[in-house]
Structure 1
Amino acid sequence: MKTSVTFPSSGLALAGLLFTPDGHTGAPLAAVVVSHPGGGVKEQTASVYAERLARAGFAALVFDAAHQGESEGEPRGLENPFQRAEDVRAAVTYLTTRDDIDPARIGAMGICASGGYVPFAAQTDHRIRAVATVSAVDIRGLLVEGLGRTQGPEVLQGMLDQAGALRTAEARGEAPATLNWAPESPEGLEEAPTLYREAQDYYRTPRGGHRNSTNAWVLRSIDQIAQYDSYAMIELISPRPLLMIAGSDADTAYFSREAIEKAREPKELFLVEGATHIDLYDRDEYVSQAVTRLTGFFGEHLVG
């Protein structure tokens, strides 16, 4: 069953969808917050995972981040990592208020950029009893250092110059300047990294595109992103369990590998053989493997 819900985060109303097992009328459920990628919305890959978790007997809450999708917040498309982490905490808070959810059995998982935001939130929110990620990315590492750490420090300095100028321009009434998350067209992408070619195919085609996923992020977000580090204190998640799932062929897999190295036990890196970053969004042969491991993980730590 899927129910539309709303809940507050830093004074903004977030739009969510709560998935529960069909026909459930029994004891309060174990629940998982599922947080969407940067540039995504709740109806895309987050709902793919939430629906399957509900089939396995969990409640699963997806939501649009503040400033995005159907949630409140101006300017539209702002990507503030600290607000994104606060949204995860707010989703947990909302679940604790529901009579059909057991507040002692709440976990969280994040996909792509939320594979950074969820662990970051969990470092200090002990209500999150189990933490999982799929195709995790540290948004600072991706945008500031470049995929595979191919950008020099001068790129960030130039973006910060722009961010300051753009704040001034907005104060004078100009519209926020934005950049695309994914290329709008496949043209000219033959030599591009797999992540960007597949992001275009997922987000900008009927495969995964959604009317509320605008493909735009506010460029001045970079002055908040630059101060953020998803995994700087990842050891604080311990002794709660951490599971990070990545495709063996993903060009972002180094984020998961390095985060797991820094984390303390109990921890696990689960590689889906042959999968790329975006394969784990919706390709059934890969998603099914990830879901099997996720249901086992949450089953052990939230139910068992």
Structure 2
Amino acid sequence: MDRVTFQNKGNTVVGNLFRPDGFEQGTTYPAIVVTHPFGAVKEQVPTTYAKLLAEQGFVTLVFDASYQGESGGEPHFSEFPSTRVEDIRCAVDFLSVHPDVDPERIGALGICAGGGYTVNVSQTEMRIKAVAGVSTFDIGSARRDGVGPLDKQSEEYRTGLLERSGRARTREAAGGQVEMFSLISDNPRFDMNDPSTIPLMYQEGYRYYSEIDPNPRFMGTFALSSLSRQMAFFPFEGIELISPRPLLLIAGSEADTLYMSQDAIGRAKEPKELVVLDGASHIDLYWRPEYVPQVAGKLAEFFGKHLSAL
């Protein structure tokens, strides 16, 4: 593994590059950009899949989003969808000129919100030849409407959040303190003593990030000033533009975000495939040994077919 950096509009993006098993100097390989979930860092679930795909013959790149992890950008712990999308384009720039990569065989994999960003950028980034998402998450829909029926938000609540986000921006513009926001503790509809009020992905996500695969750079709360830009994001508008390049989405049958992958696939044109793993939740596909090898195998098959044959 090599620690690498590249630039996104003045921000230094920090990543890790994995080479295939049996790597030979002077040979070029197909490559895959792996984009992390909301809040995550490159060392967590992205690295799990990057390593498994490298074992199957791919150069893989994971990186911390701008404003997050080890990457630059202030205020830190901001989630800007347009910047996240541009991060992926800049990662493709990096791979396109890397001596170990065949620039005509670059694919993209996104996990959770990274899946939404990957689907979005691939609509207009033609250098990406094959597109995949795992537990794909529409962050715009989630911020506007909540996650599934359990977190259905009213128009009044949404408007109130936007007003708070605007005030946070004004405060920052005046040189004031950055206000942080928690998706769980700052939602008055969620009762921390009653898990039935909280979507399963948030419950399981808390456990994953705090107990199963903790990292000190994890973004547990984010800058409230970035919330309005998240609400303004519509990742699946224009998804039909990915065709005729192939699209694969993988989700769990018990994921409270399954409807997001179904929505995306329903809008996309062929060739497309939705793989639903029976019994799996959204977070299960991050780490559980009964599911991760299945997901990795399907991804290796997909990218092997559509990148290695080019």
TM-score interval, smaller chain:
over 0.9
Query: Does the 8 A contact of 1:182 with 1:199 survive in 2?
Result: no
State the 1:156 CA deviation: 1.9
Secondary structure of the structure 1 residue equivalent to 2:42: coil
Opposite residue 173 of structure 1, the aligned amino acid is G
Question: 1:177 aligned to 166, 179, 187, which one?
Answer: 179
Opposite residue 10 of structure 1, the aligned amino acid is K
Q: C-alpha separation between the residues in 2 aligned to 1:194 and 1:163?
A: 26
Paired residues for 1:200-239 under 5 Å? 200-205=206-211, 207-239=212-244
Opposite residue 11 of structure 2, the aligned amino acid is L
State the 1:191 CA deviation: 4.4
Query: Does the 8 A contact of 1:33 with 1:107 survive in 2?
Result: yes
Paired residues for 1:248-267 under 5 Å? 248-267=253-272
The corresponding residue for 1:161 is 163
Q: C-alpha separation between the residues in 1 aligned to 2:93 and 2:219?
A: 28
Paired residues for 1:264-303 under 5 Å? 264-303=269-308
Unaligned runs of 5+ residues in structure 1 are none
Query: Does the 8 A contact of 2:21 with 2:56 survive in 1?
Result: no
1:160-182 Cα shifts (integer Å, max 9, x gaps): 11111111111222221111256
Once the two structures are overlaid, the 10-residue window that deviates more, 230-239 or 146-155, is: 146-155
The corresponding residue for 1:141 is 141
Secondary structure of the structure 2 residue equivalent to 1:204: helix
1:217-239 Cα shifts (integer Å, max 9, x gaps): 11121221122101011000000
State the 1:190 CA deviation: 5.0
Q: C-alpha separation between the residues in 1 aligned to 2:66 and 2:253?
A: 32
Query: Does the 8 A contact of 1:186 with 1:200 survive in 2?
Result: no
Unaligned runs of 5+ residues in structure 2 are none
The corresponding residue for 1:123 is 123
Tell me the percent identity: 45
The corresponding residue for 1:7 is 6
The corresponding residue for 2:16 is 17
The corresponding residue for 1:196 is 202
RMSD value, Cα: 1.6
- TM-score, normalising length from structure 1? 0.96
Q: C-alpha separation between the residues in 2 aligned to 1:186 and 1:201?
A: 14
Q: C-alpha separation between the residues in 2 aligned to 1:39 and 1:245?
A: 20
Q: C-alpha separation between the residues in 2 aligned to 1:25 and 1:271?
A: 36
Opposite residue 57 of structure 1, the aligned amino acid is G
Once the two structures are overlaid, the 10-residue window that deviates more, 49-58 or 188-197, is: 188-197
State the 1:214 CA deviation: 3.1
Q: C-alpha separation between the residues in 1 aligned to 2:78 and 2:286?
A: 23
Q: C-alpha separation between the residues in 1 aligned to 2:9 and 2:251?
A: 31
Opposite residue 4 of structure 1, the aligned amino acid is R
Q: C-alpha separation between the residues in 2 aligned to 1:41 and 1:119?
A: 19
1:103-125 Cα shifts (integer Å, max 9, x gaps): 00000010000110001011000
Opposite residue 67 of structure 1, the aligned amino acid is Y
Opposite residue 192 of structure 1, the aligned amino acid is I
Query: Does the 8 A contact of 1:106 with 1:127 survive in 2?
Result: yes
Q: C-alpha separation between the residues in 1 aligned to 2:62 and 2:184?
A: 22
1:37-90 Cα shifts (integer Å, max 9, x gaps): 000000000000000000111011000000000000000111110000000110
The corresponding residue for 2:88 is 88
Once the two structures are overlaid, the 10-residue window that deviates more, 242-251 or 173-182, is: 173-182
1:225-267 Cα shifts (integer Å, max 9, x gaps): 1221010110000000000000111110000001000000000
Paired residues for 1:90-109 under 5 Å? 90-109=90-109
Question: 1:151 aligned to 133, 150, 153, which one?
Answer: 153
> 1:190–1:89: structure 2 CA closer, same or farther, 3 Å change rule?
same
1:32 paired to 2:32 = yes
The corresponding residue for 2:54 is 54
Q: C-alpha separation between the residues in 1 aligned to 2:136 and 2:302?
A: 17
State the 1:287 CA deviation: 0.8
Secondary structure of the structure 2 residue equivalent to 1:271: strand
Secondary structure of the structure 2 residue equivalent to 1:168: helix
Q: C-alpha separation between the residues in 1 aligned to 2:198 and 2:233?
A: 27
